[in-house]
Structure 1
């Protein structure tokens, strides 16, 4: 391929209007500067042309921060789309465990322990107050109760007195689960703060011990609790692990939409250059979209460090969704306003006319 064709391909990084106006001039300069016999651009030339073209697409040449704004917009749009793709990919999972599967795992891991009659099963992969999500529940989702939208599970409590001490029950569970092919994660203990008075001794607080194991696409979580506080000494939960399709679907969707969001940002930036209020509106969109993620991510990171998680919390929870979904919707409304401003025809200034005499 001739050198000029390769340069023309790199010039596609620039906006079309800019290429029409100055593309031939830039191409001529590049060809005149190339030594005889060169057949392709150097790496440095290619990087400079791409970087310059992408910066040119953002417009606002006097702004030093427009690149940061574009990157933040592209990243958060990519993350939101990745979380949506992850949720759709979750549909490749098997249904949540039923009562028979839960009872079999409980009997396998905790022989001699009596399971109560109230075994709860999930009617869907993800539930809202243990019910499938319905459109009629939108008010609760938007007004701060979205955290109740979570992965379903089958769960049950023990009844009656504890047949053996907790250490022996834990050791037996670990031994039996590992023998049956489960990957067992070390038990973790948490001291529960049930007394807020200054005179309370930490040693008097109840201790909660959790055992987590995974086999295939199933995760079991067993929690030994204080029977005086909860009425049962053991709660067992069984649910599906994240399907393999979730990660590639999220990465692909996030990268593609993130790149498109960057291009759209550049187009809107060029179309709205010089219009009042646009930077303030864009700043509002970024605050509304980034604030929930910045609030949720540190909390979830600490939660993951405190106890084993063979299956991570879904991506949308790291973005503060749907708990703070009202922020997302208001941000979408503001971004739609920005698009409308960009689509509106621009008024060209009328030429001044000088009257004779």
Structure 2
């Protein structure tokens, strides 16, 4: 069978093989695609319209192996691939964490938290020096809405009665630790939860002026958060290695100036990624260490990307800016590597 006769004798089978060969990277198809296609067509029995399952499996697995391979004898390419894999894995986990946080229960408004602290304070004789509730953005947690009653000096006020009033508002008490009457400080802690996933934490603090009750409301971790975070890490890891391998192979056919620019972009991108990766790793440790606290504040992996003072140096947006700069360098390197300086004679055979 000759290539000229394929279009009339077995066009369907040829189309199948062409689609399966797309599993191989472009540089490999341009160099070996015509030879592989010719061999497959010449060894196929007449009249067959589609490949056998074994052929399909071999071609797909072979294509994946080629996509994950790095050029031999190039330790710099291996180092870049490992670092890119770590960086993209961290960024992917952060992206999955961000998506996971979108599945949390919506936080109540500041006014709603303010009204809840009124319920905790109860009917007081005179104003209790109440503090207005306000949103709090923590460097290591999800968004938290907090409020406080201020000093409660009315005789007869008890936390037990306050929690009974909260229960009537639809909250279920999960845990309680009464404050010690003789101790100064925040020694009492109470946790309540609603069926929609909101958690209320009440701290009972005692001072010389009376009782101060602090309240925090935050969203519990949803069941989708961890799977999305892990999935993001896996996708990012695979993408980082595949991009590094593809760029490494394409660079062989590029001019020296273009290779130099790609190398500089790669180095700059990896350098910019260092700070976000360290921050994500630190938050991963916090996330894992608090997994067994179902009613505790949620430590989200992507928290360093929020506009907070995460490190003791630099502006609030430093980590987010560094992450964006790293991704832009990676995109520029990939885009620049796609231009080819060398044409192949068999290029037209499998392109299109």
Question: What range describes the TM-score normalised by the shorter chain of this pair?
Answer: 0.5 to 0.7
C-alpha distance in 1 between matches for 2:39 and 2:272: 41
Q: Which of 50, 53, 58 matches 1:40?
A: 53
C-alpha distance in 1 between matches for 2:176 and 2:72: 56
Q: Which of 22, 26, 33 matches 2:36?
A: 26
- What's the counterpart of residue 118 of structure 1? 130
How many residue pairs get aligned? The number is: 308
Matched residue SS, 1:41: helix
Matched residue SS, 2:52: coil
Q: Could you give the per-residue CA deviations for residues 104-156 of structure 1, whole angstroms, max 9, x where no partner exists?
A: 5652x56577773433234xxx666xxxxxxxxxxxxxxxxx83997352412
- What's the counterpart of residue 151 of structure 2? 159
C-alpha distance in 2 between matches for 1:247 and 1:307: 13
Matched residue SS, 1:74: helix
C-alpha distance in 2 between matches for 1:334 and 1:253: 18
Q: Could you give the per-residue CA deviations for residues 253-308 of structure 1, whole angstroms, max 9, x where no partner exists?
A: 88887776665444444445685655654542442331111223323544565683
C-alpha distance in 2 between matches for 1:225 and 1:317: 29
Matched residue SS, 1:121: strand
The answer on whether the counterparts of 2:203 and 2:213 sit within 8 Å (CA) in structure 1 is yes
Q: Which of 68, 88, 105 matches 1:74?
A: 88
Q: TM-score when scaled to structure 1?
A: 0.60
- What's the counterpart of residue 354 of structure 1? none
Distance 1:80 1:321, change over 3 A: farther
Q: Which of 280, 303, 306 matches 1:317?
A: 303
C-alpha distance in 1 between matches for 2:293 and 2:219: 21
- What's the counterpart of residue 17 of structure 1? 27
| CA RMSD in angstroms, aligned pairs only | 5.2
The answer on whether the counterparts of 2:136 and 2:143 sit within 8 Å (CA) in structure 1 is yes
C-alpha distance in 2 between matches for 1:2 and 1:153: 62
Q: Are 2:40 and 1:54 equivalent residues in the alignment? A: no
Residue 78 (structure 1) shift = 2.1
Q: TM-score when scaled to structure 2?
A: 0.61
The answer on whether the counterparts of 1:96 and 1:240 sit within 8 Å (CA) in structure 2 is no
C-alpha distance in 1 between matches for 2:223 and 2:86: 28
Residue 71 (structure 1) shift = 3.0
Distance 1:19 1:284, change over 3 A: same
C-alpha distance in 2 between matches for 1:339 and 1:210: 49
C-alpha distance in 1 between matches for 2:114 and 2:156: 22
Matched residue SS, 1:288: helix
C-alpha distance in 2 between matches for 1:169 and 1:47: 66
C-alpha distance in 1 between matches for 2:294 and 2:207: 22
Distance 1:39 1:13, change over 3 A: closer
